[in-house]
Structure 1
Amino acid sequence: MVSWFKQLGRPPGRLLLLGIILLTGLLLRLVIAPMWVGYDTDVRTFLAWSDRAYTVGLSGLYTNAKDYFLDYPPGYMYVLYLVGMLHHKLAIPWVSSESLILLKLPAILADLVTACIVYGIAKSENASSRKWLQSLGFAALFTFDPAIWVNSAVWGQVDSFFMLFILITFLYQQKGMLPQASVFMALSILLKPQALLFGIFLLIDVIRKRNAMLFIVCVLSGVATIAVFTLPFAVGRGYGWLIDLYSGTLASYPYASLNAFNLMALLGGNFMDMTTGVGPVSYQLIGWVLMALSIVYTCFLYIRSRGQRGALFYLAFLFITAVFMCMTKMHERYLHYGLLLALMSFLSIKDRRILGLFIGFSITHFINVADVLLRSFHQDYHIPRYDSLMLMISAINVVMFGYACLLGWRLFVKPQQDQGSDNETPHLPNKKKVAFTERWNAIFKPSEDVIERSEKGRFFSKKDGLYIGALVLVYTCIALFHLGGLKDPTTFWKPAKAGEAVIADLGAPHTITRINSFAGVGEGSYSYWFSLDGQEWKDQITVKSDHTKVLTWNTVEPKHEARYVKITMDTQESAALHLHEVGIFGDGSDKILRVALVTEQEVSAADEGKPAFLFDEPRVVPYTPTYMEGTYFDEIYHARTAYEHLNKIEPYESTHPPLGKILISIGIYVFGLNPFGWRIVGTLFGVAMIPLMYVFAKRMFGRSEYAFIAAFLLTFDFMHFAQTRIATIDVYGVFFIMLMFYYMYRYTTLSFYRERLWTTLLPLGLSGLFFGIGAASKWIVIYGGAGLALLLLLSLLERFSEYRFASRLLREDRSISAIPPEESDKDIEISEHLPLQKDERSRLQLVQRLFIRNTLLTLAWCVLMFVIVPLGVYMLSYIPFMMVPGPGHNLKDVVTYQVHMYKYHKDLVATHPFASPWWEWPMMLRPIWYYQAKLMPQGMLSSIVSFGNPLVWWPGLVAVIFSFYVAFRRKDHKLRMLLIAYCSQYLPWILVPRLTFIYHYFAMVPFLILILTYYVKAYLEEGPLHKRRWVLGYLIAVFVMFVMFYPILSGMMIPSAYSFFLRWLPGWNFF
């Protein structure tokens, strides 16, 4: 096995790994390509052009081009001709998944070819044979960069195809092969007119040669290339149309910005006429001035660089980014051109600051493109000029662009004195020594978890018990207070057909002022009729009981004089209505009227229950129903389905896995079908989150005080309170997300070199188990699976790094004198530890022996615990569904359910006044409004909303953003783990086109709180003792904030004026 593993480091093995990366990238794109049409305007236009190109031929393609909005140069028309030909020859429907894949395939293949070139350049720039893994890493970084594949595989654009030609142009240009570069520059211009912007660098290089003949050859090469490749289009037309085409393209879209998150958007110019502007200065003038300055600056830097390796790529990146940031008429996609150039410049210059720019711009560009795409799915193509997300990302882009300009100056005008020809970062020997020490300690010192246990003896102390007990006790009392009533009607009448009726005799005439009826599962409509003599019926009032009125009280206020009230079943849907109880109030009293006699009319023997059951539980009928007596928001689905699972009824809600509803049904089984019963289990899971957060934080930060802070912040977070008291399934998903990441963190603190393998596999297996349980509760847990996989990969890479380190030490120990002189300064830290002691040598040899075996066993264990066991748990959760009598409930139908769920979430098109896109969640721009009580006294209000505690979420957002820098700068493993957990749960929502709400952010809140606690810890440990008072004051403020907002989180009745006092932002509507 060892020899097989070593083969991977040799050329055939490297190519195999590269092939795996490319194949995975291809499969990813092919799966994604048909899932979304893309930007429908572009996709449909490309398909129309491809059809026309093949139908009329290339020579007639540009005839009446304006009728087809054909403003693209002829270069890509060759590709579209092939696309059209394949559609016709293979009879591929134009509206089909195959059509989308075929259209997007050229750009997808261009992505993969570019990745191969990235690998080749990275390998050539790293002379050491031991750097091959880095080269593969850069190829993978490009291949799986969402900002790259979203363009080709989702949007359906051709920018990757275009940039491949630009890349080849620059590679020839960098080698001094200027005529060849001119040919590919001409081809690039034929693909997109933006290539003209890059021509300035080729012109400078040609002029630098001071060779007139070379200048002529380059010009002729470019002109000839354009003439030859446009010849099929020019037959019978000449070439004048080509000039008109380019000038028309450059003159189109007279706007300051077209959804581009840039300086113009930051100045309020999105889809504003470019002749307008900021005060007397137009956007157009600002753009031209900044464009001129950008040209002068980049040309100056390029000339000063004197052909320095990587300068061409970096300054081309800087210039095209300047164009995107400062010019008018910029589309959202144009920053895409700079990403590849930034990565290529890093491969040559090897300055990590450039890599940081590549990653930063990749993130902001992806957010920009994803936002535009998601809006386009709803036929919204213009982002409002003062959109919060656009302004925020635009500001970030402007800051990064300014830094890129400054970095260009430092790289090419004021190089650091200690920067050699390879441009490595300063103080590298010190960094190497730190890395050496880290690996040495990783092998020879106990793991973090062992250190904690060996010093403290026990993980929990009395202080921990006191902290946890106090928080749990306080929160449990708050959470259970007015959670829900324990009394709701249990008996019911389920009429078998329409037309059945029941008459309630009140014994004497009364003025009927209010009737409350409680509907259970099923749908239908029924009517109230009123009579004084029991013969003449009038004043019909119809109540439609649909899926929105399940397990809740429906109130009507007839204000009719009557002795008899008849309830007639008007319609019965396929899921027949269960009517549980009817309460009649009159004479201005809140006391229920006694029913003296119940008479049945046309009642079927096939009915379930009895009509008399409608009046047999008068004590449970409220005069003014509230959330205490019925369902609200999505409880109408989840509580209902929980009851149906218990009673082997066909489940109504099938858009989520069943385990969450099964857990809800436990409460119904124990406490009955009432609000307390369907809410108690979720509330107890919310309680359990507090000690879980405490344990997580103590495991991560070591001290009880920091664990208390984290648990305290979760305890008094608004969403934790509101979301765990409503009988929906989110609480279960979030709870198991916390557990699976907790155990994955436990695994990452262990090493199978130091501990027994089983000791490491146990937390890893528990992580997989809870991943499976969570996925069976709600699919949001699957998002976190990507984070778990990444954490596992990083942990195994650390073991691999220690394995290589051990191998190197042993090799150097065997031949100390074999260290080459030129490497002596790099290996000085190694020489300090040589020769090895006997126990050190044995330890390192053990690492060598264990790596392959333990890695393979760990991966096999992961297949079991993260694939097979979760699938088993998931399928077992469908047992209640399969126990429903009748056909359609076997294993095959369970699989069909998954397709139904996926299509539901993929194709859901709906609107909601309290919907909130993903980027609004951390800022809490629009809370979700769950409930408003009706029939409240004048000037009073009872509402339930869900959002975050401002003193937790807002500073937490700042902490998360800052953590990207800190984690990168300090290589802090704890912070890295928290960011991975946070992002793996958050980033997938960017691509979700369906309606979303702020409560979808709940899964990120525990990790936001842990990140915030990380900085509280750093604050306390770096300063004087009086900082403890500030932290205490902060915790008190968090609690006070919770108390202030408690009424609108819990449904407490308050004066309406108080709710207006709490309205701090325009979107905070509490009614």
Structure 2
Amino acid sequence: MQGNAPLGDGPAPTARPGDRTALLGPPPPTDRLRGWLVAIVLALVAAVVRFTGLGHPTDGGTPVFDEKHYVPQAWQILRNGGVADNPGFELVVHPPLGKQLIALGQLVFGYDGFGWRAAAALAGTLAVLLIVRVARRLTRSTLLGGLAGVLLICDGLSHVQSRMGMLDAFSALFVLAAFVTLVRDRDDVRARMALVVAEGRIGDSPYGPRLGVRWWRLATGVLLGLGCAVKWSGAYWLAAFAVLAVLWDVTARRAAGVERPWLGTIRRDLGPALWALALVPVLAYLAAWWGWFASETATDRYVVGDEIGTGGPWSFVPDALRSLWYYSSKVLAFHSGLTTESSGVHPWESKPWTWPMGLRPMLYYYASGEHVTGCGAASCVSAVMLVGTPALWWPAIGVLAFALWRTLAGFDWRYAAVLVGYGAGILPWFANIDRQMYFFYMTPVAPFLVLAVTLLLGETLGRAGASRERRQTGLLVVGLWVGAVVANFVWLWPILVGEPITAEMWDTQLWLPSWRQ
């Protein structure tokens, strides 16, 4: 399944600037058809896993946990022309796109558990397709791309969030899609540079060539803007990916033999980057507010001249944007005040140092007693717990440490890119540890953990030129690790989907004291 690319192949070997190998790295696998078939088949498997029993559980036919916030808002958006203006939702604390997507599921399937979770399940399915493709591009191996898809399918965190009428599955999809297009832009830029080198034009200017329109980078900007339109935390990835894109431009010009790569990046790339990764995301973000802009009754839509004056230094800004800024300032104030001290201790909140290994999961749903049947006992338990599959999450510290070592010692851009995506989702939360925080914030980070593990699996497999004994040992270790993740996921399945189990079985599912309330 690997085409002509050696398993675990890394970045381009050391070469002189201007060398084609230094620019393009190892060739991609030649099995394009098989690569797409693997991705599509795994996406179909993910669809079966994510959609099976999607309508269960509910709280007597109503949403569970934080679904209670977003599902009714989405239903009103659907019935009210794209905007929630119910006075009961005076302060809606997230942008509208995620709820608009939930509303699409309700439009197709109705207001029930399946309907309000269908869009999230589709997002989780598409994420599997994307991770197979980007892992294949990073590793130059269809086999490793497929293993990445298997790991994401079997991640308990990603699975549960893909089956909830909440926003995080959409955040994960847009962040991962932006990462895919950013990596694709990197390869495209280097291919353009290689063409200039081949034509002998790299020395025409000490700053290197102009690269023209970079459609993949524009797509990255759109996707990051949409991610921010689901949750403002998307801004963390917007900033991180923008820095990463500029650094990749510098290294591409340096690898091509450009005389002044840094100045060349500033002169040739920085202006278009500001357009693609600053203005375009803002426009994409504002586009998600179309219903709010078009509404006559949306919350704070017409505060100019009422809550805020018509004059002042910002009077040149259109009233609609000033109103949105005012509304957003109240949302920001809400988030800033959402601390343990002011709001109390939530029974399932956690701090970011527990997230890499998933030490403090969350209980979304719990029912027990004689009215819960189907486990073969007089009294059963039905529960849904948000928990990362331990065989995938518990080795995370070692995996991340290895990725950091490969970044610093081996200058491997792939590990660096994955660490940037991972760090953007967790490091900002350390800035305010008094805030109420929850494990589901790691939903957009989970794909980057999977990619880090996949890169390590490639190292474990070894290169194509390794000895037979080395390769067989690598295959055994990889098979055991991936098999452990799959088996662990199967074991946890009842508490990931709310299947009725005995009280004794429920007790055996709670592996750590921190898994209990």
The two structures have a TM-score, normalised by structure 1, of 0.40
Q: CA deviation at 1:867?
A: 1.8
Pick the aligned partner of 2:27 from 451, 465, 470: 451
Matched residues in 2 for 1:444 and 1:701: separation? 19
- Are the equivalent residues in 1 in contact too, given 2:157–2:386 (CA < 8 A)? yes
Matched residues in 2 for 1:675 and 1:691: separation? 25
Matched residues in 2 for 1:628 and 1:683: separation? 21
Q: Structure 1 residues 886 and 997, CA, compared in 2 at 3 Å: closer, same or farther? A: closer
- Are the equivalent residues in 2 in contact too, given 1:659–1:776 (CA < 8 A)? yes
Q: CA deviation at 1:480?
A: 1.3
Q: Which residue of 1 aligns with 2:404?
A: 964
* Counterparts of residues 137-148 of structure 1 (less than 5 Å): none
Q: Does 1:979 align with 2:419?
A: yes
SS at match of 2:114: helix
Pick the aligned partner of 1:471 from 39, 42, 51: 42
SS at match of 1:676: helix
Percent identity for Structure 1 against Structure 2? 24
Q: CA deviation at 1:1033?
A: 2.8
Q: Which residue of 2 aligns with 1:795?
A: 248
Aligned length: 449
Q: CA deviation at 1:740?
A: 1.2
Q: CA deviation at 1:787?
A: 1.6
Q: CA deviation at 1:947?
A: 1.5
Q: CA deviation at 1:753?
A: 2.8
Max Rg structure: 1
* Counterparts of residues 508-907 of structure 1 (less than 5 Å): 626-627=58-59, 629-648=61-80, 649-650=84-85, 652=89, 654-749=92-187, 750-751=189-190, 753-755=193-195, 761-799=214-252, 801-802=254-255, 806-807=258-259, 855-886=266-297, 888-890=300-302, 891=320, 892-907=322-337
Pick the aligned partner of 1:1061 from 495, 504, 508: 508
Q: CA deviation at 1:886?
A: 3.2
Matched residues in 2 for 1:998 and 1:886: separation? 35
The two structures have a TM-score, normalised by structure 2, of 0.81
Q: CA deviation at 1:792?
A: 2.0
Q: Structure 1 residues 1037 and 478, CA, compared in 2 at 3 Å: closer, same or farther? A: same
- Are the equivalent residues in 2 in contact too, given 1:747–1:760 (CA < 8 A)? no
- Are the equivalent residues in 2 in contact too, given 1:658–1:877 (CA < 8 A)? yes
- Cα deviation digits, residues 242-276 of structure 1 (max 9, x gap): xxxxxxxxxxxxxxxxxxxxxxxxxxxxxxxxxxx
- Cα deviation digits, residues 69-109 of structure 1 (max 9, x gap): xxxxxxxxxxxxxxxxxxxxxxxxxxxxxxxxxxxxxxxxx
How large is the RMSD of aligned CA atoms in angstroms?
2.6
Pick the aligned partner of 2:431 from 970, 985, 991: 991
SS at match of 2:365: strand
Q: Which residue of 2 aligns with 1:936?
A: 372
Q: CA deviation at 1:707?
A: 0.4
SS at match of 1:725: coil
- Cα deviation digits, residues 485-505 of structure 1 (max 9, x gap): 7xxxxxxxxxxxxxxxxxxxx
Q: Which residue of 1 aligns with 2:8?
A: none
Q: Structure 1 residues 883 and 765, CA, compared in 2 at 3 Å: closer, same or farther? A: closer
Q: Structure 1 residues 1024 and 754, CA, compared in 2 at 3 Å: closer, same or farther? A: closer
- Are the equivalent residues in 2 in contact too, given 1:682–1:725 (CA < 8 A)? yes
Matched residues in 2 for 1:1024 and 1:875: separation? 51
- Are the equivalent residues in 2 in contact too, given 1:484–1:628 (CA < 8 A)? no
Matched residues in 2 for 1:855 and 1:755: separation? 21
- Cα deviation digits, residues 209-247 of structure 1 (max 9, x gap): xxxxxxxxxxxxxxxxxxxxxxxxxxxxxxxxxxxxxxx
- Cα deviation digits, residues 390-416 of structure 1 (max 9, x gap): xxxxxxxxxxxxxxxxxxxxxxxxxxx
Matched residues in 2 for 1:461 and 1:627: separation? 45
Q: Does 1:1008 align with 2:483?
A: no
Q: Which residue of 1 aligns with 2:338?
A: 908
- Cα deviation digits, residues 271-300 of structure 1 (max 9, x gap): xxxxxxxxxxxxxxxxxxxxxxxxxxxxxx
Q: CA deviation at 1:1045?
A: 0.6
Matched residues in 1 for 2:182 and 2:399: separation? 23
Q: Structure 1 residues 437 and 917, CA, compared in 2 at 3 Å: closer, same or farther? A: closer
SS at match of 1:915: coil
Q: Which runs of 5+ in 2 are unaligned?
A: 1-11, 197-209, 303-319
- Are the equivalent residues in 2 in contact too, given 1:685–1:732 (CA < 8 A)? yes
Q: Structure 1 residues 644 and 758, CA, compared in 2 at 3 Å: closer, same or farther? A: farther
Q: Which runs of 5+ in 1 are unaligned?
A: 1-435, 486-624, 808-847
Q: Structure 1 residues 983 and 626, CA, compared in 2 at 3 Å: closer, same or farther? A: closer
- Cα deviation digits, residues 558-614 of structure 1 (max 9, x gap): xxxxxxxxxxxxxxxxxxxxxxxxxxxxxxxxxxxxxxxxxxxxxxxxxxxxxxxxx
Matched residues in 2 for 1:439 and 1:1028: separation? 30
Q: Which residue of 2 aligns with 1:235?
A: none
Q: CA deviation at 1:650?
A: 0.8
Matched residues in 1 for 2:129 and 2:60: separation? 28
Q: CA deviation at 1:437?
A: 8.3
* Counterparts of residues 479-490 of structure 1 (less than 5 Å): 479-484=50-55
Q: CA deviation at 1:628?
A: 7.9
Matched residues in 2 for 1:679 and 1:437: separation? 46
Q: Which residue of 2 aligns with 1:1045?
A: 492
| Corresponding letter in the other structure for 1:484 | G
Q: Which residue of 2 aligns with 1:288?
A: none
Q: CA deviation at 1:982?
A: 1.1
* Counterparts of residues 32-111 of structure 1 (less than 5 Å): none
Q: Structure 1 residues 1011 and 747, CA, compared in 2 at 3 Å: closer, same or farther? A: same
Matched residues in 1 for 2:258 and 2:280: separation? 35
| Corresponding letter in the other structure for 1:862 | A
Q: CA deviation at 1:443?
A: 4.5
Q: Which residue of 2 aligns with 1:298?
A: none
- Are the equivalent residues in 1 in contact too, given 2:24–2:194 (CA < 8 A)? no
- Are the equivalent residues in 2 in contact too, given 1:947–1:999 (CA < 8 A)? no
SS at match of 1:440: coil
- Are the equivalent residues in 1 in contact too, given 2:160–2:496 (CA < 8 A)? yes
Q: Structure 1 residues 1047 and 443, CA, compared in 2 at 3 Å: closer, same or farther? A: same
Matched residues in 1 for 2:334 and 2:27: separation? 49
Matched residues in 2 for 1:801 and 1:1038: separation? 41
- Cα deviation digits, residues 617-665 of structure 1 (max 9, x gap): xxxxxxxx84583200111111111112122241526111111111111
Q: CA deviation at 1:974?
A: 0.9
- Are the equivalent residues in 1 in contact too, given 2:106–2:115 (CA < 8 A)? yes
* Counterparts of residues 248-647 of structure 1 (less than 5 Å): 438=14, 440-445=16-21, 447-448=23-24, 451-452=27-28, 456=30, 460-462=32-34, 464-484=35-55, 626-627=58-59, 629-647=61-79
Matched residues in 2 for 1:664 and 1:1019: separation? 41
- Are the equivalent residues in 1 in contact too, given 2:39–2:133 (CA < 8 A)? no
| Corresponding letter in the other structure for 2:334 | Y
- Cα deviation digits, residues 671-719 of structure 1 (max 9, x gap): 2222211110110010011110000100000011110111110010101
Q: CA deviation at 1:981?
A: 1.5
Q: CA deviation at 1:1056?
A: 1.2
Structure with greater contact order relative to length (CA < 8 Å, sep ≥ 6): 2
Q: Structure 1 residues 442 and 764, CA, compared in 2 at 3 Å: closer, same or farther? A: farther
- Are the equivalent residues in 2 in contact too, given 1:484–1:679 (CA < 8 A)? yes
